[in-house]
Chain A
């Protein structure tokens, strides 16, 4: 019986999902994709224009370059955007009129594209970004409310940044000859002390999914939405963790657009999937009305809030442990050192009376040089 149960479990679950690429014969579509919003916070508005690619061409972003992009208003105002990097178009800092309505106008590939007009929309401030321990992890929430109960639909973007440290300090490095062959080890710093520039680093991560929330079914416009989940013992919370959350008010239509996009592209794979379907947004091609344009452009305000969580705020058993290998070798000669290629030297262990190193330590590179996993440039907002 036990065996059967064991087998059952493995079968039922492991066998369920596997990577698969069906043979498809997609035609090239190259539909215009517009991402961005008209910023009413007083800053610049940025749009990224790309083209859809064939399903069989993964990992390729085709930027739409050389397009004429401008924000126009119902009352006749025109604000041109300039291409600041390939496919990225940025406006000057704009002050928009509450009583006017705005839209995006694009001329690209010999065709003209327009979004629907959109009026200014106020975004309530983020009350707080809170966190709590649940389900063996750290759950972050965004909390907000609109006293006028009128916003109802929200989108969030966020960027996480965290400080992390190498598992071992290092004062040694390999020395090389002209042919880039290892000749031995040498001190990193004249002071022979540990090189802290490879000990303290930062890494960051931008949101890769659509994060939206709504209070449409609540009696008050109050949001307590789960935002980020960090598993226990993650390196993100090994020293100090920070997240910057940006909040945008959406129209109901934009919310539906993002909800559908999320359903089509992130929420598939269950038994009772809703079937994916066409979803395009509020842009249209004026020149060729049945051409698909993807994107939803409206005016919105950006509100942001930053949160820090230090490892000291978390339970002791949350300490991050990096899987590392540490080895002590001697004698300190070229053969020994070369046999350790693939590791990095850490510190001397003991010395000859001459002061030369006799025994020294080696370790897994990623445990020694933090720049292999991040940057050692401290972010400007870091305390």
Chain B
């Protein structure tokens, strides 16, 4: 029951003197007496109206569920109102002369006209209808389009008189963050009746075709407050909308695949999570961890808790393209794999493509993990800092040139040595440290040209018990230029340099003191063109080129006494180029298809000496016939082939769709490892005449259904994947500093298949997701011409084959300042190789191994819990604080990481190794400024 319309309120405000209550006039106010116990505010106001004879104007929606509690005895009206509405953001204006009281929220009740009101207007409104008074600014949009910022104001677009009745009109414009000026990308903007929906593009641009008349535009976006705008549309026009970013981390959804997107968009096998969701998931030591959260998604597994190596739908850890902005990160882990190498303060969101990989990406078989960083604040300097038990981090961002150029800097470091010093004597002298640094600069040259610079560096060092020291480092720089030709065409040019190195050294034994090094670098260039042909069709095409340079290993003496003979393996280099074209076409609103083709060419380049082997027999040192020398720059071996990316979607209705896809991939660089976990000492190898590139393809089908106004998303995806020429190691393989590494590895075939179920609740006090995956990953080596068949040529499970995998991630917001999160996961134990027999040799009982991966470790189960406590929510304070307190592995279950037998003091003992054998409490303190 609306006492009076907002619009009329607005109109009336024009007549009131805002200074009415200043000074001595307060004495003339009526006095209020009464006892109110939990009385709805609306009734309270009506009661006042009776008591005072004043007329009260208010909007019931503002009063919401507010209830009044209090006892008043002869108190002036304004004091009573002050007291009742304290802290609610509701203000009041009292006009004594006209005996009127205006209760308002959000809107500032102005009692006089802005100075230029009539100036801009040019003329007083001839129509008495107050609704249209201020809004002729919006007529036709040729003028600079001001932004609509108010929810309850009616914005009129077009001229009522010029417009006929009936028919559709187009409304378009940009969405911006009111605070930082950044475009709001991927926001959903829709009207309810009829249901018409649009998503903003990468510039924050939207376009909606709607029937003429009055509508409520609803806007929903990640990180932004859901909002709406009242519009009256008579003609085509523009409306820019400024959105408020979410002030509190607690207020919004955990999962961010844009609402309805899972059903409506073309992509399948794609998951997107924003940093707020990532920060809510409890993790060990409380360090918000991008990769750990990715691991909770269906179809993503790892061999164990110490590994951030992702196994996506049966792929190995090196088959993921991990892109930080455009830079490839070769080793995404810190601290023995306990942490991921991405500073959560800088990350904006993470997108994982498990299938339906866009044609613009190539070079890896299994997945693409895009980690997008935030752009710096273009308007103000801000920052944040966090203190945890093991790490601290800081980030600062701000404008270099206001509204044009901004930067964001993030840094993180650890002080984990105290932890290692608490270890038993045998580990006590261990040391571990890492840091990572990010600096991103965004520069807007003009509306059509923008430059983005991303730099990243990480470094890890550790030594275990003063003996061998390890270090590794990622370094990346990329520069991207985005040019918009017009609203239909845009282009992105990017170039950059990625570098990864690791080193091992030991000086304990002076004679054998050594330094070992490995590094891999790639320089790349990408050109990408996007063409929005029309509402039905989008075409993308481009070229990529990557030049690899790999130093497979150097081994050098360290110190004058060292007798180590220096070995420097010759560098390997190669060029990979690709062209691609993809076309997204909507045959109808229900049925759309995206077809992409990518053709890649890879050339292994000289200088190089290539080993030759007898044909048709396994490559061993005894079948090595000699080497061939190639000159610098000479193309030694070329591999090439097409890659197909196909997907189709049929939407039964707004909330249900089916999708199918097929994609094939080629991978020309390989990671070689004979450890179960992704180790810092794993090396990479370029395809060469003796090592073929990997090839994989995948077919998948998915069914998507949303419930409850798209706040509950469900999906079922099924996939079948084949992998060819995956490199597995031979028994006793030597992978480092091996000049004939092809003799120690062999090509295997793989197949993976599975079903992934997911239920996600994206809004409300309770949000989160539940996922279940049943999948298998099997490998086979059955070619006697390559080597002794593994497990007699039978299919055997891969290290990360865990058939059942169940995850629950939930967050419950108790209040705006307090929320709790719970994370539970269960999976089948991973396969391991256990001995088949005992024997006695060299003074001790020992064990004999035979077939690979024939046993499994016990099943995995873990529950984590955390509480997020925010400081007060006043927007204008110097700093905002928050605490995260939690417990990792709440049940204290000793989840086995591995089970093994070892000979000790002459006898064989079986052990179970757990990384975390107990519940681990943690606390984190964050501060934003």
Question: Which A residues form the contact surface with B (CB < 8 A)?
Answer: 4-5, 7-22, 24, 26-27, 29, 31, 33, 35, 50-55, 57-61, 135, 157, 206-210, 215, 217-220, 222-226, 256, 258-261, 264-269, 271-279, 292, 294-295
Contacts and interface: CB of A to CB of B under 8 A. Distances in A.
22 contacts: A4-B922, A11-B916, A12-B423, A12-B916, A15-B918, A19-B909, A22-B834, A26-B837, A29-B837, A55-B836, A55-B838, A208-B905, A209-B903, A217-B564, A220-B563, A260-B732, A261-B842, A265-B844, A265-B846, A266-B902, A271-B306, A274-B675
B833 interface: yes
A29 B681 contact: no
Nearest to A32: B839
B894 A15 contact: yes
Q: Which of B848, B899, B908, B921 has the most CB of A within 10 A?
A: B848
A222 B839 CA distance: 33
Nearest to A13: B423
A55 B225 CA distance: 63
Interface string B823-865: 0000000000111111111111111111010010000000000
Given A29-B848, A59-B907, A272-B675, A35 B916 contact: no
B905 A222 contact: no
Contacts of A8: 389, 419, 422, 920-921
A22 B511 CA distance: 43
B731 interface: yes
Contact of B852 (A13, A268, A277): A277
A59 B909 CA distance: 11
Nearest to B908: A58
B915 A271 contact: yes
Contact of A4 (B674, B681, B923): B923
Contacts of A217: 512, 514, 555, 564-565, 567
Nearest to B897: A271
Q: Which size bracket describes the interface of B in this complex? A: 35 or more
B929 interface: no
Contacts of B419: 5, 8-9, 12
Contact of B336 (A16, A58, A157, A271): A271
Nearest to A135: B466
A261 B907 contact: no
A258 B898 CA distance: 24
**Which of A22, A33, A294 has most chain B Cβ within 10 Å?**
A22
Contacts of B423: 9, 12-13
Contacts of B912: 17-20
B675 A261 contact: no
Given A210-B842, A279-B731, A219 B563 contact: yes
Contacts of A60: 838
B198 interface: no
Given A54-B837, A209-B844, A272 B916 contact: no
B107 interface: no
Contacts of A268: 900-902
B676 A275 contact: yes
Interface string B609-644: 000000000000000000000000000000000000
Identify which of A24, A220, A258 gathers the most chain B CB atoms within 10 Å of its CB: A24
A326 B567 CA distance: 62
B839 A53 contact: yes
A294 B564 CA distance: 33
Give the 10 A-B CB pairs with smallest separation, nearest first.
Answer: A15-B917, A20-B912, A9-B422, A277-B731, A11-B918, A219-B565, A52-B837, A272-B679, A268-B900, A29-B837
B483 to A, nearest CB: 46
Contacts of B913: 16-17, 269
Given A29-B837, A54-B837, A222-B563, A278 B921 contact: no
Given A20-B910, A209-B842, A271-B897, A264 B847 contact: yes
Nearest to A57: B838
Contact of B841 (A35, A220, A225): A35
Interface in B699-737: 731-732
Contacts of A226: 509
B424 interface: yes
Contact of B846 (A220, A225, A261, A292): A261
A68 B510 CA distance: 48
B844 A33 contact: no
Contacts of B842: 35, 207-210, 258, 261
A11 B336 CA distance: 17
Contacts of B283: none
Contacts of A258: 842
Nearest to A59: B907
Given A29-B848, A271-B915, A22 B833 contact: no
B523 interface: no
A267 B847 CA distance: 12
A274 to B, nearest CB: 5
Contact of A278 (B681, B731, B902): B731
B70 interface: no
A220 B337 CA distance: 38
A71 to B, nearest CB: 20
Nearest to A263: B732
Contacts of B418: 5
A277 B676 CA distance: 12
Nearest to B731: A277
Contacts of B511: 218, 222-224
Contacts of A278: 731, 849-850
B711 to A, nearest CB: 38
A10 to B, nearest CB: 7
A272 B564 contact: no
Contacts of A21: 910
Contact of A276 (B512, B677, B833, B918): B833
A27 B854 CA distance: 14
A31 B835 CA distance: 14
A276 B835 contact: yes
Contacts of B111: none
Contacts of B306: 271
Contact of B843 (A5, A33, A207, A269): A207
B146 interface: no
A370 B876 CA distance: 81
A4 B921 contact: yes
B824 to A, nearest CB: 20
A220 B564 CA distance: 8
Interface in B425-462: 427
B361 interface: no
B773 to A, nearest CB: 24
B905 A31 contact: no
